[in-house]
Amino acid sequence: MAGGSNRVKKSIVLVGLMGAGKTTVGRRLAKRLGLSFTDSDVEIEAAAGLTIPEIFERFGEAHFRDGERRVIARLIEGPAKVIATGGGAFMNAETRALVLDRCTVVWLDGAVELLAERARRSGHRPLLDNDDPLGSLRAIAAVRNPVYAEAHLKVMSDRQRHEDTVEEIVALLRGA
């Protein structure tokens, strides 16, 4: 795979909780595979002309999730690329079925305590904007992790350097 994108036939979609490293690992994975990288959250903000917290505040989560589904459907068209998705994207049954059918889905998993700390450091997260962000992320994980388990591949992203996570994904892709 080191030779570039000619070996990768399908887009690689990264799923997992906020703080799992989808964007950071995704950028490095794309570079390693010679693919382009796209963050669905960035694309959603560009399409809406608003930040994700603004979309949540003005229109609610259901509106955001609908836009997210449409953006991801558009992103998986065309040449293979690496796509980092928002933590809730894979929870939409239509989005999940589409990416499972047309892409290679990689679940970046990790200990909730570490992911909550990473998410806190990385900026405003509407779903954690409360008095108990760790408790909130635990509750989110309890619902989402069984669904993330439908991904084609799973990598623990909390116990190693990002480059090691990338190499583990590349090794799994070779075997997929």
Q: What is the pLDDT along the chain (176 residues), one digit of tens a residue?
A: 444 444 788 999 999 998 888 999 999 999 999 999 999 999 999 999 999 889 989 999 889 988 999 999 999 998 999 999 988 899 999 999 999 999 999 999 988 888 777 666 665 655 556 667 788 889 999 999 999 999 999 999 877 788 999 999 999 998 85
Beta bridge partner(s), residue 107: 15, 154
pLDDT, residue 16, reads: 95
- Which whole-number Å values give the CA distances from 61 to 55, 149, 153, in the listed order? 8, 23, 28
pLDDT, residue 176, reads: 58
Question: Residue 138: in which H helix or E strand, if any?
Answer: helix 133-148
pLDDT, residue 123, reads: 59
The three-state secondary structure class of 37 is strand
Supply the DSSP symbol for 136: H
5-168 CATH fold:
Rossmann fold (3.40.50)
pLDDT, residue 155, reads: 96
pLDDT, residue 167, reads: 95
Residue listed under structure tokens 């079925």: 97
pLDDT, residue 128, reads: 58
Residue listed under structure tokens 């909780």: 17
- pTM here? 0.88
pLDDT, residue 5, reads: 40
pLDDT, residue 3, reads: 43
